Amino acid sequence: MTEVEVAVPEGVFPGMEFTLSYEGTELTVVCPDCVGPGDPINLTIDVPAAGGGGTPGTQAVNIVVPDGCFPGMEFTVDFEGTPYNIAVPDGTGPGQEITIELPASGGGAEAPAQMEVTDEMYEEAFKKASKGFTKPDPDLLRYALVLYCTNNGDIPAVFAAMGDDPSEALRKPQMTDTPEKFAANYALGYFKVRAGQSSVPPPAAPVLEMTDEMFQEAYKRASKMGTRPDPDILRWALSTYCAKNGDIPAIFAAMGDDPAEALIKPTFCDTPDKFAANYVLGYFKVRVKR
């Protein structure tokens, strides 16, 4: 078991993610409440050898709850290249050790780290897509850029996420070999299909049903340190998520907001209650103006 004390980097505030590296292991940590740039936080990880007594196919991992995290709240740890959201159990708090089970390491080749979208990448894509006096749609450009990076440049996977046909892009590898090229050429329509314009649309999924239990769970997640969320905004975010079946671009379009921040935080919005709670808490940087 090793305890690591790290300082929160400059520009990182509660709810934001940052990455630290310890003995070759990359850890992604969500900055806890009540701390900010320069403040120390402690993280302790003890990884027993595989097969050390957990459920078959899993391994037990002991971690210490970070400062500022209390029952019902979540923090994120990136273990062996995969991010895991961890809910603080009842009866525990900052500094206490908890044990969770994670998938056992397969011992194969290490999965490549997910590509990161940067401002410089977006600016280069925008420049490439600007032809004459025509300027690309910035939301469409960022949408293509985020999905390319999320799927590490796997063109079939990127187009599957978009609901589009990848065949034209697969015939033009020199136009998709970098995130900037792909996003620019997608926005310019060089792959013949555009988001929402696929010639072979995916089958419609049944609309998610919002339940009282779902609302109560979202309310619990959004309640922090005595602060209570606005129930109207919470229910509005929850109902919009369900009506759009978790399609983040469609949800934010209906809300009149920018989906970019949510798209780069998939573990914050992979269930209706998580999305609604994190939206109300402002973790996607945009909020409906009421």
Give tens-digit pLDDT for 10-67. 777 777 777 766 555 667 777 777 777 888 877 765 544 444 444 555 667 777 778 7
Query: Which pLDDT does position 112 carry in this prediction?
Result: 61
* Residue from 73, 21, 12 nearest 39 by CA: 12
* Residue from 73, 72, 63, 76 nearest 31 by CA: 76
Query: Which pLDDT does position 202 carry in this prediction?
Result: 46
Query: Which pLDDT does position 52 carry in this prediction?
Result: 44
C-alpha pair distances (Å), 35 with each of 63, 67, 285: 19, 8, 18
pLDDT (tens digit per residue) in 193-225: 554 444 444 445 567 888 889 999 998 888 875
Classify strands 40-46 and 58-64 as parallel, antiparallel or unpaired. Answer: antiparallel
Query: Which pLDDT does position 272 carry in this prediction?
Result: 93
Paired tokens of 21: 């590296």
The CA-CA-CA angle for residues 87, 36, 38, to 5°, reads 120
Paired tokens of 91: 């009866």
Is the Cβ–Cβ distance between 145 and 187 less than 8 Å?
Answer: no
The stretch 137-161 carries a mean pLDDT of 86
- Say how far apart CA 278 and CA 285 lie, in whole Å: 10
In the chain, where the domains are located: 2-101, 119-187, 212-280
Amino acid residing at 159:
F
- Say how far apart CA 162 and CA 143 lie, in whole Å: 9
C-alpha pair distances (Å), 142 with each of 96, 112, 135, 277: 40, 22, 13, 24
The stretch 254-275 carries a mean pLDDT of 87
